[in-house]
Amino acid sequence: MPILGSIFIWMGFHAWILHQYAGMDWIVAGWDSFIFNLCLLSAGILSGFLNRYFPKNGAFQITAGVSLILAFLVEWIAEQALIPLHQANTVYINFLRQSEPVRWVVAFIFILSAGLINIFYSRWKDLQEEHDREASTHVMVKEAELQKLQLQLQPHFLFNSLNSINALIITQPDKAGKMVQQLSDFLRATLKRADEQWITLAKEIEYLQLYLSIEKVRFGHRLDVRMNLDDQIQLWLIPPLLLQPLVENAIKFGLYGTTGQVVINLTTKREGDILLVEISNPFDEDMQPAEGSGFGLSGLRRRLYLLYARNDLLTTQIENNKFIVRLILPEKYD
C-alpha cells in the first residue's frame, strides 16, 4: 500500500507540473501523467523481472542495453496512446513532440535505476544467503567438535575399571557387582550429559561423585579427594563433563609411582562475576611419565574456547610440589 500511494502521489505531482508550467488543463495533464507513468512503471517492473535471468558476468552492460530499448518502447507506447486522445489539441500534440527527448531520458534513467537496484539487491541477497550458510556450517562444525570433545572418555579409565572388576570377581564378587553397577551408571550419565550444553555446578558435582565412587573402589584408602564447595554458587551453569577430566588427570598423575595416600583438593568459589575452580594434586617431576606431561588438558582448552571464545580460562602451575589447575568460568545462571 505505501508503494501504491507513492505512485499516485507522483502521478498527481506530475499532472500538477504539467498544469502549472505547461498550461494544460487538468484532464489533459491527468491523462498524460497516468499513461506515461503507467508505461514507465510497467517497463521498470519488466526490467526487474528480466534481471533475474541475466548472467552474473556482464549484468550491468545488459541492464543498460535493456533499459535503452525499454525507454524507447515507453516513449513510443505512451505517444501512441496519448495522440488519439488529444488529436484535436494541436498545442498538446506539439508539446508531446517537443518533450520526447526529455521523456526518453527520464524513462531511461528510471528503468536503468530499477534494474541496477534489482541487481544490487540480488547480489546482496546472494551474499547474505552465503553468509548464512557459512554461519550455519560453522555452527554445525562447532557443535560436532564440541560433542566429539565432550564424549572423549579417557580409555585408560574404562580399561582400568574393567580390569579392577575382573580382579574383584573372584576375590570380592559383591564389590565387583557394585562396581559394574557404578560403571554402568557413570557411562549412562556420560551419554546423557552429551545432549546438554549447560548444567548446574551441583549436577556436575553429582556426576563427579559417581566417577569418584568407582575410582575409590580401585584405589581404596590411597585416594582421598577433599572438596571445599561454595554452596552459594550451586546453580552456576557450566559446560557438562568439565570437572571430571580435570580430577581424572589429578588422580592419574597424582597417584603415579606412589604407594601411600594421595590427597587431591577441589575448591569452588566465587570471585566477582566469575566461578573459580581449583584442583591440586601432589607432583614430583621425577616420578612423572615422559609422555602425557601436558596432563591432557588441550581438549578442555579447546572446548572452553569454542564455548567462550577465550584462551585464558584454564591455567596450570607447579607450586610447592603441587600441580594446580585453575579454571575460571564467566557467570551464567539458570
Residue 286: which CATH number? 3.30.565.10
pLDDT at 225 > cutoff 80: yes
Instruction: Give the orientation angle of helix 26-51 with respect to helix 2-21, to 10 degrees.
Output: 140
φ, ψ dihedrals at 282, nearest 5°? -60, 145
Q: What is the dihedral angle through the alpha carbons of 71, 74, 76, 78, rounded to the nearest 10 degrees?
A: -150
Residue 28 near residue 92, CB atoms below 8 Å: yes
Count of domains for the chain: 2
* Residue 20: pLDDT band with limits 50, 70, 90: low
Averaged pLDDT for residues 75-82: 72
CA angle 222, 224, 228 (to 5 degrees): 170
* Residue 51: pLDDT band with limits 50, 70, 90: low
Residue among 63, 71, 69 at smallest CA distance from 102: 71
Q: In what order do the strands lie in the sheet with 314-318?
A: 223-229, 262-271, 274-282, 322-330, 314-318
23 and 134 inside one domain = yes
Averaged pLDDT for residues 46-62: 68
Question: Given 146, 161, 187, which residue is the final one in a domain?
Answer: 146
161 and 142 inside one domain = no
Q: Tell me: the pLDDT tens digits for 256-269?
A: 667 778 899 999 99
Question: Given 115, 146, 177, which residue is the final one in a domain?
Answer: 146
More confident: 29 or 233: 233
pLDDT at 146 > cutoff 60: no
Q: Which residues contact 130 (CB under 8 A, 6 or more apart)?
A: none
Q: Sort 80 into a burial class: Cβ within 10 Å, 0-12 / 13-18 / 19+.
A: exposed
Q: Sort 59 into a burial class: Cβ within 10 Å, 0-12 / 13-18 / 19+.
A: middle
214 and 293 inside one domain = yes
157 and 285 inside one domain = yes
Mean pLDDT of the chain: 76
DSSP string for residues in 284-302:
-GGGS-SS-TTTT-HHHHH
33 and 163 inside one domain = no
Q: How far apart are the C-alpha atoms of 203 and 235, rounded to whole Å?
A: 9
Q: How far apart are the C-alpha atoms of 36 and 92, rounded to whole Å?
A: 14
Q: Tell me: the pLDDT tens digits for 123-145?
A: 788 788 777 776 666 666 665 55
| pLDDT at site 295 | 44
* Residue 250: pLDDT band with limits 50, 70, 90: confident
7 and 133 inside one domain = yes
* Residue 290: pLDDT band with limits 50, 70, 90: very low
More confident: 177 or 332: 177
Question: Given 86, 117, 146, which residue is the final one in a domain?
Answer: 146
Averaged pLDDT for residues 199-227: 88
| pLDDT at site 15 | 67
Averaged pLDDT for residues 105-113: 76
Residue among 170, 149, 242, 157 at smallest CA distance from 204: 242
Measured in residues, the chain has a length of: 334
More confident: 270 or 95: 270
Which of 3-12, 181-190, 216-225, 231-240 is predicted least confidently?
A: 3-12
Core vs surface per residue 137-151: b (16+ CB within 10 A) or e: eeeeeeeeebeebbe
Q: Sort 36 into a burial class: Cβ within 10 Å, 0-12 / 13-18 / 19+.
A: buried
Host domain of residue 9: 2-146
* Residue 292: pLDDT band with limits 50, 70, 90: very low
Rg (CA), the chain: 39
More confident: 235 or 260: 235
Whole-angstrom CA distances from 56 to 132, 248, 312 are: 21, 58, 46
What residues are paired with 269 via a beta bridge?
276
